[in-house]
Each structure stands twice: as C-alpha cells, then as structure tokens.
Amino acid sequence: MGRQVLAVDDSPTVRKFVSVSLSMQGFDVVTACDGMDALEKLPQRKFDLVITDLNMPNMDGFELIKALRENAEYAELPIIILSSLADQDSREEGAKLGVHSYVVKPFSLEKIQYEVSKYLSWTEEG
C-alpha cells in the first residue's frame, strides 16, 4: 500500500487533478470537500500528509490546520497549503501554523508531485 495523502479542496476539478497526479506516483489519495469532511475522514486511515485549500465552505483551511495542530495525533502531520491566495499575510499565517509548503494556484502536475515528494516517498514504509 502506498503512502496515504488527504487532499482537501472544495473544487472537484482540483481534487481530481491532485488525486490523479499523486496516484501516478504511487500515493493513495483520499479527497475531502472541506475541513469538516476532512476531519471526518482523518480517523479512517493513517494519513502521511494533508494538502488543503484555504477558501472552503463549512470549515476553511486555516481552521482545519488549527484543528490538526491542536490534536496530538496530527500535530506533526506534514501539511501543504494549495491556494489561490498568494498574499503575504496568508503565507505568514500558514507558516505560523506550521505548514510545510505553500503552493499557489494555478499549479503544475510536476509542482504538486515535487512538493509531496519532499516529505514522502512512495517507497517509504509507514
């Protein structure tokens, strides 16, 4: 079984693109449509990394990241922000919350694969 990635975005197109991009490299990808959906799916598997958008309904990305960081089980989980927000304030907030990377949309297949591979390798055993 490959490394487990949770991709959280309210756009079905982005979820599909991330899922296909990472599946091509051997990662097992589960998708969620917002932070609430992500929190429901997290206990179902041992995820190795989370990719999250910021602007989402119900629970946005920053709220999701805060919830993860406040939970001892997920406090060290690598998180990549994938957002159309390119402003310095959003980047600084992400850094303050301990995210590992900040990728601005639009992004390439190679960019998302590279960012994930910095923290996970499909050959690693978890």
pLDDT at 125 over 60: no
pLDDT at 116 over 80: yes
Cα gap 53→102, rounded to integer Å? 10
Which string of b and e fits 108-119 if b means at least 16 CB within 10 Å?
Answer: eeeebbebbeeb
Predicted confidence at residue 120, as pLDDT, reads 86
CB-CB contact of 3 with 117 (8 Å): no
Predicted confidence at residue 121, as pLDDT, reads 65
Q: Between 12-23 and 109-117, two packed helices, what is the crossing angle to 10 degrees?
A: 60
Predicted confidence at residue 2, as pLDDT, reads 77
Cα gap 78→5, rounded to integer Å? 10
pLDDT at 80 over 50: yes
Average pLDDT over residues 6-22: 96
Residues above pLDDT 70, as percent of the chain? 94
Q: If DSSP codes are grouped into helix, strand and coil, which group holds residue 66?
A: helix
Predicted confidence at residue 27, as pLDDT, reads 93
- Residue spans of the domains in the chain: they are 4-86+100-117
Cα gap 110→121, rounded to integer Å? 15
pLDDT at 104 over 70: yes
pLDDT tens-place string over residues 33-77:
999 999 999 999 999 999 999 999 999 999 999 999 999 999 999
Which of the pair, 116 or 1, is modelled with greater confidence? 116
- The fold of 4-86+100-117 is Rossmann fold (3.40.50)
